[in-house]
Amino acid sequence: MNFALINVLVTRAARQSREFVEALEKNGFNPVLFPMIEIIPPDSWDLCDKAIDSLYMYDGLIFTSANGVEFFFRRLAERNIAAQECQNKIICVVGEKTKAVCEKHGLSVTLMPDKFTSNDLFRALQQQDIRDRVFLHPRGNLGKEQLSGNLKILGAKVDPVVVYNTVQPKKADIQEIKTKILAGEINVLTFTSPSTVKNFAAMFSPYEFKKIADDALVVVIGPVTKEASTVTGFRHVHLATTSTIESMITMLVQLFNVESAGNPK
């Protein structure tokens, strides 16, 4: 079916939205770019560099996002350290995309949970003997410390280091798209992280946001983002079956096939 008249708002970082945009277009949707986050280097590399200098001490690496992988290995390259230095370590990841980026850097992934959340990674690690193991966890500035605490219970040590910051992008000329959203010209909103939800809500007055949240059809990529969406106030939130762009597209196709049959939300 051709969904060319269906406008899908894409809120992920501009530099990371190409895959999603191309997939939407391939499936006949009309993507509308409205980036709500920007991914930038950390304020300081000091803690990361200190960990890199002690890389030999770590039994494994934990990556909970593709950005964590990319920025960590970018920093290794800047320090003239080959990715092969990590080849013999335990590599734990959350998500197919994160796994793919690790493999791009020549690493074999040791452990990836079936469901793509940090809690599911913890449950998978419960089945492993990781007592006295030491892990490095390159992550973003908004990452939670919960994983470190959970693994401590299992007798392991985790050193989290920030390798990228998630920030709100500079406000360019966004009024045109805001007007379209308020006028109901955007058919569905998509969110791929709690930050995109939070920053989207901040773009509008409380009255405007309530008007949007009461009626908007929303598709999200994972349970954490779904929780953020519902807590923020969105009423019609649909969770993709798996935390992938492909699954979001499948959800969109299913939703709008239903709508065309006369059963909108």
Measured at the CA of 101, the angle between CA 97 and CA 106, to 5 degrees, comes to 140
The residue ranges of the chain whose pLDDT is under 50 are: 260-265
Buried b (16+ CB within 10 A) or exposed e, 63-78: bbbbbbbbbbbebbee
Cβ neighbourhood burial of 138 (10 Å; 0-12, 13-18, 19+): buried
DSSP 23-77: HHHHTT-EEEE----EEE--S--HHHHHHHHTGGG-SEEEESSHHHHHHHHHHHH
**pTM score of the predicted model:** 0.81
Delimit the domains of the chain by residue range.
7-37+169-260, 41-164
The amino acid present at 220, given as its one-letter code, is V
pLDDT, residue 248, reads 94
Q: Model confidence over 130-153: pLDDT tens digits?
A: 889 999 999 999 877 777 778 888
Domains 7-37+169-260 and 41-164 share a fold: yes
Separation CA 184–CA 75 (nearest Å): 43
CATH architecture of 41-164: 3-Layer(aba) Sandwich (3.40)
Task: Decide if 135 contacts 164 (C-beta within 8 A).
Answer: no
Residue 21, both tokens = 């945009």
Q: Model confidence over 169-217: pLDDT tens digits?
A: 876 667 889 999 999 999 999 999 999 999 999 999 999 999 999 999 9
Task: Check if CATH label 3.90.1520.10 holds for domain 7-37+169-260.
Answer: no
pLDDT, residue 262, reads 45
